[in-house]
Each structure stands twice: as structure tokens, then as C-alpha cells.
Amino acid sequence: MTDEFKPRHVIVTGGAGFIGSNFARWVAENTDCRVTVLDKLTYAGNPENLAGLDPDRVRLVVGDICDAALLDELVPEADAVVHYAAESHNDNSIAGPEPFVRTNVQGTFELLEACRRHGRRLHHVSTDEVYGDLALDDPARFTEETPYRPSSPYSSSKAASDMLVRAWHRTYGLPVTISNCSNNYGPYQHVEKFIPRQITNVLDGARPKLYGDGRNVRDWIHTEDHSSAVWAILTRGRVGETYLIGADGERDNVTVLRDILRAMGRPEDDFDWVRDRPGHDRRYAIDAAKLRRELGWEPAHTDFAEGLAQTIAWYRDNEAWWRPAKEALGKKADVF
């Protein structure tokens, strides 16, 4: 194991989004490190995600990761950049891929160059979707050695960004780490995503809708566990290495939807089937053995039913947070 890296100040790109803001909260609550959140505040970024955090510990800078001049102001102030910023919704990438290439590829390039100019470390947060998908009857899971086979414009853009990070380490010696994580759930997740979409539909008295045959499998992890894993990798991971983050949470979509319906007092068949989306990956599954073996990390949220109940309660108690986004989505909010 390498010597522990002890940052006093980190930049969190995309830190007003779902996963990034939960990481900023985790750092503020579990360490003495200061956080500068850099976020463009697109539809998926919300300053309210950072509400209640000590402004002396966590500050928000509204800006674009493609803005090299801004990065040259911010990066020298910090010890490391933790790069969450990304366009991340598959349906949106199919409808309009250009923002995904700009943010996920060009934005990552600009961050790498800024870190190279100023001698700073970068941790790059990626997705298991870069590996494509697995067959439903395949016992295998993704590992750090799995070949890349991205299926959508979104996952292709993330695969490209991963390759850039590796190239900047090998070519320029930039100190980097990469993590590829499975599907997150928990508070502050935008209502376009699967679990909050279904929860808020039920809260509105609407029948949820489900793509295809509902057998598509996702590997769920609570966002707090993702945050603790990223911190472990940033501070104790080996430079130049990739670590997969997962919590053994494989469930197919129809099971998760039925879990939500039961937990919210609705019949488990109270939903409608709709035509599948193009290129819909069948199964994701993470083998996080390297992370657990090398860094001793373990998830805290191992009871999915309990985590789901807490998530449902959060959305029930925070309608003022999600209602504007739900209304902005309109009919697009109905389908998964």
C-alpha cells in the first residue's frame, strides 16, 4: 500500500449534482478537508443539494469545467481534483449526444491539462457502463481487467474520458486514480433517474412505467458507500490504478419497482409496461474485490430494503426539492 495522501482542500467537479453533492457532504461530515464545488448548474445541478453545509468548509463556484482560465484560478488552490462532473442520462445521450462529448470528453481533457500545469492529483469518477453489459445467465462480473464495450453515446463518452486519464498518467506522469461504480441510489438524486422517478410517480398517484421486460439487472449501491469508497481510493489508492466500486447489489428493474410499490403501500403489479429503449444494456455486475482487498473498504448500507425505505422517506419529506424538476420534465418523467 502506498503512503496515505492527506488532502486539505479538494475541488469536486459536478459537486452540486446527485453523487457529487453527496460526496461533498460526506467529506464535510467525515474529514477536516475543505471542498470547492465547481458546477455549471445545468438542470441536474442544484445549489440546494449543498444546503446546510458550513460555508467555511464547502463553497460553490458556478462555472464550466471546459473553462481553462477558470481552472487555472481554482486548481492551484487545492491539493486534488475529484472529477464527478458529467452528462449522465442514457436517454438524453441517445436524443442528443453532443453535450456528452463536450462535457465528458473535452471537460475531462481540460481538467487533466489544468492538473498537469499545476502539479495536482486527479481522481476520475466513472461508470461500470463503459464495460457494456453481461448476459442475464452469465455468472461473471466486471473487473478492472474487463475489456471496454460501451453501448450508448453516454457510456462511450465516459470510456473516452477514462482513456484520456490513463494516457495523461502514462505519458505525462500525472498522479491519477480512476473508479468505475455501479448504479447509485439515495437522497438528492434527480427525478429523471430510475428509483426517484418511480418513487415520485407513486407519490403523485401515477402508475409507474417500465421499459421492456423489466429483467435488466443493475448493481445498486447507496451513494454514501460510493462516497466513502472514493475517499479511500483518493487517499490510499495506488496512483495510476483503477478500482471498481460495488456493494453486491444486483437486482432487476422489475424487482426494484415492485419493492418500491410494496414499500409505498401499492400493489406490486400497479405499473405499465412500455417499449424498450434502443441499446438497453441487460446486466451490470461489479466485482469490487480489489478495492476491498487493497484498501479494506466495506459498504455500510448492505440492506437494500432499509436503504430504499430511507430513500422513499427522503423524497416524501422533500417534495419542495424535487417538485420543480418533476414539472420541468413533464411527460418525460413517466417512463423508465
154 given a catalytic annotation = yes
State whether residue 221 is helix, strand or coil.
strand
67 given a catalytic annotation = no
Strands 272-274 and 209-211: parallel
Classify residue 148 by its DSSP letter. P
- Averaged over successive runs of 10 residues, the pLDDT of the chain (336 residues) comes to 88 98 98 98 94 97 98 98 87 82 96 98 96 92 97 94 98 98 96 96 96 92 98 98 97 97 97 82 94 98 97 98 92 50
pTM here is 0.94
Per-residue model confidence (pLDDT) at position 229:
98
Nearest to 58 by CA among 87, 26, 88: 26
Domain 9-190+221-249+280-302: CATH superfamily is: NAD(P)-binding Rossmann-like Domain (3.40.50.720)
Can you say whether residue 14 is alpha, beta or left, with left for phi > 0 and alpha for psi between -120 and 50 degrees? Answer: left
Cβ burial of 267 (10 Å; 0-12, 13-18, 19+) is: exposed
- Which residue of the set 84, 87, 133, 154 is catalytic? 154
State whether residue 310 is helix, strand or coil.
helix
Indicate the residue type of 308: L
Query: Rounded to a whole number, what is the distance in angstroms from the first to the last CA of the chain?
Result: 42
138 given a catalytic annotation = no
Tell me the per-residue pLDDT of 279-311, one tens digit each, with 9 for 90 and over. 678 899 999 999 999 999 999 999 999 999 999
- Which residue of the set 39, 64, 87, 128 is catalytic? 128
Per-residue model confidence (pLDDT) at position 332:
54
Domain limits of the chain? 9-190+221-249+280-302
**Rounded distance between C-alpha atoms, residue 230 and residue 241, angstroms:** 13
Per-residue model confidence (pLDDT) at position 302:
95
- Which residue of the set 39, 64, 87, 129 is catalytic? 129
